[in-house]
């Protein structure tokens, strides 16, 4: 017996994407051969059928968004490029800091639209909730941008169950992007809340290794399936919840192709039980 799940998910109930996406954070943006290779990776992702690509203003201060536009514009039908806002560089330290003030969020959306060459960002995620700004002000600004047509759907990142509940009282939430993988399930309660509400859950840091014993178990399952350990942990994610939309990232075409192939890997019920038993390493 094998575990089977749908290969697609409707974000916000209507925006259909393939469940195995691509995280663009690792793509180099500096001029030269590395940038050309990054463009090739983004284009190959679309060729392979990836329809969900994740970026953020924080990734190079918008340079990652510009790279994706260079590589993919005009965008293929059905391709969703989602971005995140709510962080800005400190002028004094150069470090990234939370800033959820409405005027900052609005300005970041306008700049993202120009960099991505879009008229509307179909899924916009708040990179982090800013504790120094009332949540109602942050999400109210995003709701206004949605009502103006600049944003299609609103998501959150790195939130707790309580924060998600409070946010949903202010505006519809279409997605949550939290750190999560086979060996790090700290946000399992958030995943459960998303599943109950039909909210897309986009795990980042989808692959992480633990103790040698954990690695041995994953490697054993990989050998049984003639797959790689990375493919096994991605397949586990896809089978763990129907709202799970992993976004593994890479700067290499070969690794991208390996990740995408994980979408066709099926774990038996026994293999899944063995992997379910692995816990976050201490």
Residue 7's pLDDT is 94
Residue 53's pLDDT is 98
**How many other C-beta atoms can be found within 10 angstroms of the C-beta atom of residue 30?**
11
Q: Listing from the earlier edge strand, what are the strands of the sheet with 80-85?
A: 22-23, 52-54, 80-85, 121-126, 151-157, 175-177, 200-201
Q: Which pLDDT band holds residue 223 (cuts at 50, 70, 90)?
A: very high
Least confident among 49-63, 177-191, 268-282: 268-282
Residue 214's pLDDT is 63
* Residues 87, 99 contacting (CB under 8 angstroms): yes
In degrees and rounded to multiples of 5, residue 197 shows phi and psi of -100, 0
Residue 94's pLDDT is 83
Residue 15's pLDDT is 97
Q: Which pLDDT band holds residue 280 (cuts at 50, 70, 90)?
A: low
Separation of alpha carbons 276 and 238, rounded Å = 13
Instruction: For residue range 112-147, list pLDDT tens digits in order.
Output: 999 999 999 999 999 999 999 999 999 999 999 999
Q: From the candidates 59, 73, 75, 180, which is the catalytic residue?
A: 59
- Collapsing DSSP to helix, strand or coil, 56 comes out as coil
Residue 93's pLDDT is 81
Q: In terms of C-beta density within 10 A (0-12 exposed, 13-18 middle, 19 or more buried), how is residue 112 classed?
A: buried
Residue 215's pLDDT is 82
Could you tell me the sign of the dihedral formed by the alpha carbons of 95, 281, 199, 10, in that order? Answer: positive
> Which residues on neighbouring strands pair with residue 84, listed in sequence order?
125
- Is 57 assigned a catalytic role? no
How much is the pTM?
Answer: 0.94
Candidates 85, 112, 102, 82; CA nearest to 12 is 82
């Amino acid at each position: 017996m094998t575990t089977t799940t749908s290969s697609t998910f409707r974000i916000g109930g209507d925006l259909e994407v393939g469940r195995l996406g691509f995280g663009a954070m690792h793509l180099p943006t500096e001029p030269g051969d590395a940038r050309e290779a990054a463009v090739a990776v983004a284009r190959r992702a679309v060729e392979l059928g990836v329809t969900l690509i994740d970026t953020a203003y924080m990734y190079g201060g918008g340079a990652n968004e510009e790279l994706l536009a260079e590589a993919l514009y005009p965008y293929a039908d059905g391709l969703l490029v989602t971005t995140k806002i709510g962080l800005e560089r400190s002028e004094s330290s150069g470090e990234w800091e939370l800033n959820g003030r409405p005027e900052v969020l609005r300005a970041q959306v306008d700049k993202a639209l120009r960099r991505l060459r879009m008229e509307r960002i179909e899924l916009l995620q708040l990179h982090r909730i800013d504790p120094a700004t009332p949540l109602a002000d942050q999400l109210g600004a995003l709701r206004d941008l949605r009502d103006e047509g600049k944003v299609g759907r609103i998501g959150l990142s790195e939130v707790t169950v309580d924060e998600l509940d409070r946010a949903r009282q202010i505006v519809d939430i279409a997605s949550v992007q939290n750190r999560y993988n086979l060996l790090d399930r700290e946000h399992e309660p958030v995943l459960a809340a998303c599943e109950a509400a039909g909210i897309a859950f986009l795990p980042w840091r989808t692959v992480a290794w633990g103790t040698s014993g954990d690695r041995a178990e994953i490697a054993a399952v990989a050998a049984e399936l003639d797959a790689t350990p990375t493919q096994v942990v991605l397949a586990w994610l896809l089978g763990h919840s129907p709202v799970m939309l992993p976004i593994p990232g890479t700067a290499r075409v070969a690794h991208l192709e390996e990740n995408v192939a994980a979408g066709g890997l099926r774990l038996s019920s026994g293999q899944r039980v063995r992997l379910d038993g692995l816990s976050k390493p201490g």
